[in-house]
Structure 1
């Protein structure tokens, strides 16, 4: 059996039920994490988000909202802002995009996962959590096609099962885990 390549970046997607799930996930991230963490949570496009501010106290890492052309920083959790897709531009930088919504969402999960896969290939760890759309399915497929790892929240454990179930059907997964097990495995990252 092939041993997975250690990730250099973690990308996380969530929608319905995602705030609660992300609180657990961010609490699990170790303080000395040596890689950046990028997050898309489906947000209303027409008002400011306080999600980074809300979740920062729960996390040992710095949590902030993305800015265009911001450097990728290890040990930092960066959220997509409302009405922008969050993309990995290259191995050093992120970008924000106003490309068309994907499955009615901007930010959307697929563009983040696909851009991370294009830049980091087998060094991506993608985590898809609860949600009520099929956003993330194509992104999980791109990550797995590039040799990266994809962990999906077990649909039966998710507040909204459609998102992880859709990705599992479309692309499979390297692990299908209950949220508590995702958190345990995240604690092992360096």
Structure 2
């Protein structure tokens, strides 16, 4: 569980969506992760971070400086496109619909937060199934734990940041405790692991 995915593993290049979830320390972690993704990273990404619900988010602008991939706030009804990073806006849960479009809701908070990682991951699991990868980074609390269970149950893959390399270990620890995590990796090993999974053929 602690090793990066081997290049010879029989996992097809079947993945279409990577969902990255984080809380405290997440900007710093993303600043190390996103620049290391290849410019031809040919899947869509969703980033869910716990944000202040009372202020406009600068997350897309911040992340845009970290990567050559397109970064934008998710919009309701928007179709998910490859090579684009969608961020969950403040005070909205970000969901994926059956026709692979984005949906924003203001239903009750989950794990005391909105957006909540669990809401996004559970909807991604139902829609993308075995084509989904979840990544749990640094953060307080246990948001994401139910979500990674759903990802695994629907045939997807789960990566958790090694808690020893996280600014705040709670979220990756909670994910690991579910038994649904495929790989526990130091932050610097997550981008090449994602690249191997996404680029693999077979």
Give TM-score scaled by structure 1 length: 0.95
Moved more, 39-48 or 20-29: 20-29
d(CA) in 2 for partners of 1:55, 1:122: 27
* Counterpart in the other structure of 2:89: 81
d(CA) in 2 for partners of 1:90, 1:60: 29
Q: Determine if the alignment matches structure 1 residue 20 to structure 2 residue 45.
A: no
Which secondary structure does the structure 2 equivalent of 1:82 belong to? coil
**1:4-40 alpha-carbon deviations (Å, 9 max, x no partner):** 3431111110001000111122112222222110110
The answer (yes or no) to whether the contact 2:41–2:195 under 8 Å persists in 1 is no
d(CA) in 2 for partners of 1:180, 1:116: 25
The answer (yes or no) to whether the contact 2:100–2:127 under 8 Å persists in 1 is no
**1:80-104 alpha-carbon deviations (Å, 9 max, x no partner):** 0000011111243111111111111
**Runs ≥4 residues deviating over 6 A:** none
Equivalences for residues 124-139 of structure 1 within 5 A: 124-139=132-147
* Counterpart in the other structure of 1:116: 124
Equivalent position to 2:149, from 113, 131, 141: 141
Moved more, 93-102 or 166-175: 166-175
d(CA) in 1 for partners of 2:90, 2:53: 5
The answer (yes or no) to whether the contact 1:83–1:98 under 8 Å persists in 2 is yes
Q: Determine if the alignment matches structure 1 residue 97 to structure 2 residue 105.
A: yes
d(CA) in 2 for partners of 1:170, 1:141: 7
**1:158-181 alpha-carbon deviations (Å, 9 max, x no partner):** 110010101111233110000000
Which secondary structure does the structure 1 equivalent of 2:178 belong to? helix
Q: Determine if the alignment matches structure 1 residue 32 to structure 2 residue 40.
A: yes
d(CA) in 2 for partners of 1:8, 1:48: 29
Unpaired segments of 5 or more residues in structure 1? none
* Counterpart in the other structure of 1:63: 71
Which secondary structure does the structure 2 equivalent of 1:13 belong to? strand
* Counterpart in the other structure of 1:156: 164
Which secondary structure does the structure 2 equivalent of 1:131 belong to? coil
Aligned residues: 190
* Counterpart in the other structure of 2:56: 48
d(CA) in 2 for partners of 1:27, 1:71: 25
**1:142-169 alpha-carbon deviations (Å, 9 max, x no partner):** 0001110000001111110010101111
